[in-house]
Amino acid sequence: MSTLNKTYPSVAVRVALLKKLKTQIKKQEKEICEALAKDLGKPTFESMLTETQFVLAELRHTIKHLRGWAVPKRIPGSMLNFPAKEYIYQHPYGRVLIFAPWNYPFQLTLAPLIGAVAAGNSVVLKPSEMAPNTGAVIKDILTKVFDIKFVTVIEGGPLLAKELLKQQWDYIFYTGSTAIGKEIYQAAAKNLTPVTLELGGKSPCIVHESASLKVAAKRIAWGKFVNTGQTCVAPDFVLVHESVKQQFTQYLISAIKDLYGENPEENTDYGKIINKKHFQRLIGYLEGTKISHGGTSNETSLYIAPTVVDNPSLQSAVMSEEIFGPILPIISYTYEKDLDTILKKYEHSLALYVFANNKEFTNAIIENYAFGGGCINDTLVHLVNNQLPFGGIGNSGIGKYHGKYSFDTFSHSKAIVKRSKLENPLRYAPYKKKTKLIKLLYRFIN
């Protein structure tokens, strides 16, 4: 038996820890939902749908498949190495730093943690200080499940984050704004630390003239206003063909009323803005705009009604930054070249949604534009399948996760060739008369 020290937890230990985490989340699910209600005004159903049950599903999937993911994968060998056996080994990076956001403070904290632990890393986790109640519950849960040498939860604000970034890490995972993501990237570059950056951007939603308008309106309203619009992949604005814009807008307003009633402020299914800073930012977006629906607010309760803005200028404040709140601009387009101009202005979004019953049109959008992920004739639901990768491109992020993609993200793939005593003399000098043979071999090795 080897006397070498084993630095990383075995797969069996990782599985046991993840099972323990699953059990503890189930025990404290009510407490988690209560914390989410305090921080974001989330109804219990929404907290379960988008936070606790999402995480539990991720845990079940990871626990079920982890042993298979972690087994060294034998791959076809190269003739140049013959005779040999060739493998890919998955190895933990080591010390991982995870920065979590405030908008889905449970899901977006635990989901990357699951991947990091599954891959065998130790983790220092900083929950968002802007969702303190949820952060406290997370710390309580993780302290009960993990030894401090595996997972450490550190609470604090931007100053703590800066101090953490001064340390050397083996991997950094950040979810949040593009501006802060760039700062994270710069700090990581000093030590050549690999990163995953889950960022945002203005995710467009296109409604083609062939779309089923009533269905589109309902699904867009849900995708936009769930979590009070504070979702990184929410439709940020809607591009509607001018021939159906008026009818679509009417359906959209009706869908909002169906979801939240005539007075959403009194509806317990509708949440609140995270804090006064973000409330004032969102109210500022409404200045000078034409409001088709909503627009009412209450700073005391951090309430902003589901709001529809009609044809704002592309140079306006509401179209210059990611909204991240319950304000939905509706912009008409006439020709596909107009659509192309707007989409290129907001390229590399985290998500893109298309509502159309024209396959040629939808295929052209998917193939011609770069974005993180999206849906045809729906919104948000591409996040549900843990066999699909989630991540951005360009300004919307670097890297991907969910399911096995999380395990792969937090693992270094080591290429290993195991040779026998049998020798292949081709590679050795003298090289005379071997030129034609090596050319021939390279034609067939892969």
Give Cα 360 distance to the centre of its chain.
28
196, 207, 209, 367 from 358: Cα distances, Å: 35, 11, 9, 14
Q: Identify whether 86 is a catalytic site residue.
A: no
* 185 vs 27: CA distance, rounded Å: 37
Within 13 A of 112's CA, how many CA atoms are on the CB side? 31
Within 13 A of 104's CA, how many CA atoms are on the CB side? 27
Structure tokens at 182: 């760039």
Within 13 A of 189's CA, how many CA atoms are on the CB side? 6
CB atoms < 10 A from the CB of 295, how many? 16
4, 51, 79, 414, 419 from 86: Cα distances, Å: 24, 41, 11, 11, 9
> Collapsing DSSP states into helix, strand and coil, what is residue 204?
strand
* 252 vs 213: CA distance, rounded Å: 9
> Collapsing DSSP states into helix, strand and coil, what is residue 318?
helix
Max CA pair span of the chain: 87
Closest CA to 198 of 232, 165, 226, 227: 232
Residues in the chain: 446
* 307 vs 321: CA distance, rounded Å: 17
Q: Which of 129, 198, 262, 299 is catalytic?
A: 198
* 56 vs 418: CA distance, rounded Å: 39
173, 396, 398, 416 from 199: Cα distances, Å: 11, 5, 8, 34
* 381 vs 58: CA distance, rounded Å: 15
Residues with catalytic function: 198
